Amino acid sequence: MKIAHINDKPYVIKDGETMLNFITRYMGPSSVPTLCDAPNLNPFGACRVCSVEVALEDGGKRKTMASCHSPVGEGQYIYTDSPSVQKLRKNIIELVLTDHPLDCLTCEVNGNCELQTVAGQVGIREVRYPEGETHLEREKDFSHPYLTSDMSKCINCYRCVRACDEVQGQFVLSMAGRGFDAKIVKGNDQSFYESDCVSCGACVQACPTSAISDVYQSKAIGATETTRTICTYCGVGCNLDVSTVNGEVVSIKAPYDAEVNEGHTCLKGRYAFKFYNHPERLRSPLIKKNGKFEEASWEEAYDLIESKLRQYKSDFGPDYIAGISSSRCTNEENYLMQKFIRTAIGTNNIDGCARVCHSPTALGMQRTFGTGAATNSIEDLKHTNCIMVIGANPTDAHPVTGARLKQFSMKSDNVSIVIDPRRTELASYATYHIPLRPGTNVAVLNMMMYYIISEGLTDDSFIGSRTEGFEDFKNEILALDLDKMAEVSGVDKELVRKAAIAYATAPNAMSFHGLGVTEHSQGTFTVMQIADLALLTGNIGRKGVGVNPLRGQNNVQGSADMGVQPHQGAGYLDITKDEVIQKYSQFYGVDVPTEIGYKIPEMFDAALQGKLKAIWIIGEDVVQTDPNTQKVIKALEATDFVVVQELFMTETAKYADVVLPGASFLEKSGTFTNGERRVQAVRAVVEPIEGTKVDGQIIVDMMNRMGYNQPDYTPDGMLREISQIVPFFAGIKWEELGKNGKQWPVKPNGEDTQILHTEEFKRGKG
């Protein structure tokens, strides 16, 4: 146990921590003032306000050091508030203020300015030096839709520059000039709008003054309440701190203590929130009469839906009714929707975009490992040596994870492999970019496995102890015609060979794949190949390795987990097996259907054949997103009764007979499950706008009207029910999710799982 001293008191130190980390861990975050330091940035040492005195022995000679970047050492005596340190800090701040306009009372960040706070902390009452430059001549920049700047307020701490470099990896901001003329510039000394800024807002959050801000004045202290919730835009699952005033959202920040995004978010997560109370939001149920929508009461809408569903169920049977749920909705709402269709209606005709886009991932990984979800966490990028990204453009589709992948790729010691027909942003930084022809993933991955086997780079120990069927697999791979594979895929064999060797010889290698893999006829097989690459090289079951699908919408993983698919119920249980049928029937208290239901394309086919009379669609704009738009429209027109639950009048809603106004993610509570199996708490920030209802409560209302007794929607109540039927949710409790959620499987005692398959695969051997 290593000891260092803070103001003569002994404390245990951790390997690798700085003096500032050491001090704040024991004395609190405000024990040492700082200006250039930020929780998500590397130590820099620009301002020296964090200076402390350090002696190597008790009573020894003291030396003044910047605590933010100086490592703490065993036996050190650190003094945080000696008279000389206090004098130094005060002098530094006085010098900063000579170059800063003192218009605090009218400044946007008055009361929430770090310079103002530190000035008070070090005891500034007057500035002894002559007035320097105030830089008020610097033109304010309001050119950008979201970001603003007033560089007269800049203190040259470099935090914005470092945030743009270290967090987003965009390198838009830099420092130009010297002395009093030193200033932050964007691009080639352009405006924000003209620069390559991607509007992530990392610089805004990093800036300690109002030099860089945004149009929402997110650093002003006007907010009366801040609520922690989860972003709804993609499968990364970023945490958001949403600020409100009088029940209205005013700004969003990214919390530094979020394990998923660590103080970062993208343009959408930070700034695209105004939709929640947009004038075009649906604010009343609508019933189509004589071809036109008319506003109706909830009771009137419910009465019509109930009568129609009962009629079709009685006249034609439950299989003439279908439901489509939404990966935008919470786990609890998706669970309720599939339960409603299976218990209150009595059919397995339930589907959603999660199965449409990601079932190849689930099936491919289930066949290979036994579990169809990411094996590792995004945090493992800190522990890997090689990444392979195939069929994904994460800097566009998953910006926060994409930024981390880009940061990884830019470091010279790391190896990155990008397999993509396009030269994506990530491909431009890759060690190896394999520009294959679209649809030839299988050929390229076969080539990689051929070279790994033929070069003798397989992990024989791992293969022998944890896999089966290797000899047959090896013989099949080595029998392939590599020239034919290269011809089909249009890639250079030597390039593939180098990439394969790099992947196989890296101490730790991770793979990431997206819809460019799964949305192909051979998608399931390709996912199995990616998994086989990991098995061949032993890259499974520890930090910094694994197979990690990049999920599309925010709750794709959760939607599938909850049973929104026609062949599997909640927890991926096969609805055709007798023991599963018995389990569901006993748990739900009704006999559940036993035949596999319609997939979404089959629903449309059935409608056109007169075999589907009613469909209920929640949060899916199938007219816009499904292939063959005209066929989808004809299918909806051929369906006697269409219910659409939405926020806006979408193209799909236009073909509905009843439209029900649901609630946005800012207006409801529940959970989302991100791409790394992390179940996180979504907390209502504001009340649902007048005339709307939480989607889960709408489903509950209709379940009760259709004769199935279901308690009112609450996130804690629903999680209690889900934990009893979904095995890997067994230990998940609403009140224990905390700030960072839990990664399933979660044991009954609440212990979660960051890494899958550490000792064995669920299916036995891979």
Kindly tell me if the per-residue pLDDT of 684 is higher than 90: yes
With contact defined as beta carbons under 8 Å apart, do 646 and 659 qualify?
A: yes
Is it the case that residue 137 has pLDDT exceeding 90? no
Instruction: Write the single-letter amino acid at 537.
Output: T
Q: Binning pLDDT at 50, 70 and 90, where does residue 29 land?
A: confident
Q: Which two tokens stand for residue 38?
A: 């930020």
Contact 300, 76 (CB under 8 A): no
Give the pLDDT confidence score for residue 209 in this predicted structure: 92
Kind of pairing between the strands at 62-66 and 350-351: unpaired
* Whether the predicted pLDDT of 520 surpasses 90: no
Give me the domains of the chain, ranges plus CATH numbers.
3-81 (3.10.20.740), 128-277 (3.30.70.20), 286-357+555-668+686-726 (3.40.50.740), 377-535 (3.40.228.10)
577: Cβ contacts below 8 Å, ≥ 6 apart: none
C-alpha span between 4 and 138 (Å, rounded):
47
* Cα–Cα distance measured from residue 445 to residue 356, given in angstroms and rounded to the nearest whole number: 23
For residue 49, pLDDT over 90 is answered with yes
- φ, ψ of residue 317 to 5 degrees: the values are 105, 160
Alpha-carbon dihedral sign for residues 513, 515, 519, 520 = negative
Q: What is the CA radius of gyration of the chain?
A: 29
Distance of CA 400 to CAs 215, 254, 552, Å? 22, 11, 13
Residue 580 has pLDDT above 80, yes or no: yes
Establish how many alpha carbons lie within 13 A of residue 455's alpha carbon, considering only the half-sphere containing its beta carbon. Answer: 19
Percent of the chain with pLDDT over 70: 100
> Does 108 score more than 90 pLDDT?
no
Confidence of residue 263 (pLDDT cuts 50, 70, 90): very high
Region 439-463: what's the mean pLDDT?
95
Instruction: Report the pLDDT value the prediction gives residue 38, as an integer from 0 to 100.
Output: 92
- Asked whether residue 222 carries a pLDDT value surpassing 80, the answer given is no
Residue given tokens 């959603």 in the structure block:
352
**First-last CA distance in the chain:** 42
Q: What is the predicted pLDDT for the residue at 527?
A: 93
Question: Does this model's pTM top 0.75?
Answer: yes
Quick one: pLDDT band at residue 434, thresholds 50, 70, 90?
very high
Q: What is the DSSP string of 44-62?
A: --SS-TTEEEEESSTT--E
Structure confidence at residue 185 (pLDDT): 94
- Chain centroid, CA 441 distance in Å: 26
pLDDT given at position 85:
93
Q: Is the pLDDT of residue 311 over 90?
A: yes
pLDDT above 90: percentage of residues in the chain: 84
Counting every residue written for the chain, the total comes to 766
Considering only 148-152, 180-184, 514-518, 571-575, which range has the smallest mean pLDDT?
180-184
Phi-psi region of 139 (alpha: psi -120 to 50; beta: other; left: phi over 0): beta
State the pairing for strand pair 386-390/350-351.
unpaired
The arrangement of strands across the sheet holding 239-245 comes to 225-230, 239-245, 248-253
Instruction: Give the range among 51-60, 222-231, 596-605, 723-732 with minimum mean pLDDT.
Output: 222-231
Alpha helices in 610-742 (DSSP H): 622-625, 629-638, 695-705, 715-725
pLDDT in tens, 365-424: 889 998 889 999 999 999 999 999 999 999 999 999 999 999 999 998 999 999 999 999
pLDDT tops 80 at residue 131:
no
The two three-digit tokens of residue 35, written as one number = 């200006």
Confidence category of residue 14, pLDDT binned at 50, 70, 90 = very high
Q: Provide the mean pLDDT of the chain.
A: 94
Rounded to 5 degrees, what angle do the CA atoms 60, 66, 70 make? Answer: 80
Is 314's pLDDT higher than 90?
yes
pLDDT of residue 603: 97
Q: What is the pLDDT of residue 250?
A: 92
pLDDT at 766 over 80: no
Query: Where would I find the H helices in 458-553?
Result: 460-466, 470-478, 482-489, 493-505, 515-518, 523-537
SS3 590: coil
What is the distance of C-alpha 454 from the center of its chain?
Answer: 38
Q: Which of the four pLDDT bands, split at 50, 70 and 90, describes residue 518?
A: confident
**The pLDDT of residue 299 is above 80:** yes
Mean of pLDDT values over 493-511: 97
Residue 436: the pLDDT is 96
**For 373, phi and psi rounded to 5 degrees?**
-150, 170
- Is the model more confident about 764 or about 444? 444
Q: Prior bond to 745 cis, omega within 30? A: yes
In the sheet that 77-79 helps form, which strands lie side by side, from edge to edge? 9-12, 3-6, 77-79, 51-55, 62-66
Mean pLDDT is lowest, of 75-89, 108-122, 196-210, for: 108-122
- How high is the pLDDT of residue 106? 85
